[in-house]
Structure 1
């Protein structure tokens, strides 16, 4: 239970977050390259459409049988998951919690002290959940990074709960 984080407060739905399952989530980002690569505010639907289109094109050209290169790509992805350092944006979780219209801030409850951010800035947070293929257990279960990487060396640690105020 100590790895579970709750989003509560001035929200329509209380959300329970389990960082242990995010390794399988397609929204995860590689934290080793995330802050150094150029950030694009791409539309998620557009990205999904492009990925499906690419897959469809590949099936038309090569057939539904997976070519050897696809098997190699899958092996590479599996290896990357086992050794990577990953995070996930908090925005989809906050969106699903449906903060009330008068909600103005997000309080990050931590055993190191609470941090309060405006709700629009809170949408840009990245929750780091994996370090070199291992779940974050020391000072975890997540580290919180700002999207611009300004706290990359000193993330918010020991997060216990999020409260929308």
Structure 2
């Protein structure tokens, strides 16, 4: 149930989606795509640039996510919803080399899917459906940030290779 990020990176890292259910960075699947569409329609270029700058400054301070205490009611709610995780922060920790061109998603059935680096940086990884890990067709599903493949995600992603 782990997903290594390897290839043209400074640091090979291993993602463990089974622990993301307790990570504060997770996003409800239902909210992941509705927020983005509103943001893209309402933001102007200056706001986008400002947000990217702030994100880069924040990422320079390597602070692990701190999970606030969870009440019993919140814990029950967590175990009933579907969640996605933005992958960009993990890619920043892996430090993709400047000469990287694209990425290959290795699927559990042995197939491979090519995606652009930009699409990878902006993607969501679906890791929990109804509060449970994706055991049958997991460990994660690849979803484009715009939601274009929400009904037909790339399933069974078990490895990400940066080319």
What TM bracket, shorter-length normalisation?
0.7 to 0.9
Larger Rg: 1
Which residue number in structure 2 is paired with residue 137 of structure 1? 135
Which 5+ residue runs of structure 2 have no aligned equivalent? Answer: 40-47, 59-68
CA contact (8 A) 1:144 1:155 kept: yes
After TM superposition, the score normalised by the length of structure 2 is 0.76
Is 1:77 aligned to 2:89, yes or no?
no
Q: Aligned partners of 2:15 and 2:104: how far apart in 1?
A: 16
Match 1:29 to one of 27, 30, 33: 27
> Per-residue CA shift, 1:44-86, capped at 9, x if unaligned?
55xxxxxxxxxxxxxxxxxxxxxxxxx9x94442222111100
Match 1:7 to one of 2, 5, 15: 5
Q: How many residues align?
A: 137
Shift of 1:104: 1.3
Which 5+ residue runs of structure 1 have no aligned equivalent? Answer: 46-70
Match 1:123 to one of 114, 121, 124: 121
After TM superposition, the score normalised by the length of structure 1 is 0.76
Which residue number in structure 1 is paired with residue 85 of structure 2? 88
Match 1:100 to one of 93, 97, 105: 97
> Per-residue CA shift, 1:84-132, capped at 9, x if unaligned?
1001011111111001110111111112621111212210110000001
